[in-house]
Amino acid sequence: MKSFEADDPLELIGHAFPVESEEAADREMARCFTEEYALMGFSAFEVGRLFESPAYVAPHAILLRRGPEFIRDVIREVYRR
């Protein structure tokens, strides 16, 4: 164990960055989550259930902000490819 350092270079730090719109940012994040789980072998139905679960905080937050139809559109778009 190392002692605490106030200027620890490995400390996690969040950064904001400009986006064209909050909706575009949510769509991109939802697409990334969907692609990640699709590549792990999840079905489109299973991915949709992940967005519905409060245990998956970030995907669920997108669902709450944008609604289920937004999520279904993203999932359909990813699984069409």
pLDDT one-digit tens code per residue, 42-81: 999 999 999 999 999 999 999 999 999 999 999 999 999 8
- Mention every residue, 6+ apart, whose C-beta is less than 8 A from residue 23: 66
Region 25-33 average pLDDT: 96
Burial classification of residue 42, based on how many CB atoms lie within 10 Å of its CB (0-12 exposed, 13-18 middle, 19 or more buried): middle
Q: How much is the pLDDT for 5?
A: 75
Distance from C-alpha of 27 to C-alpha of 43, rounded to nearest angstrom: 19
Which of 4-13, 22-31, 34-43 has the lowest average pLDDT?
4-13
Q: How much is the pLDDT for 7?
A: 78
Q: What integer best gives the mean pLDDT of the chain? A: 92
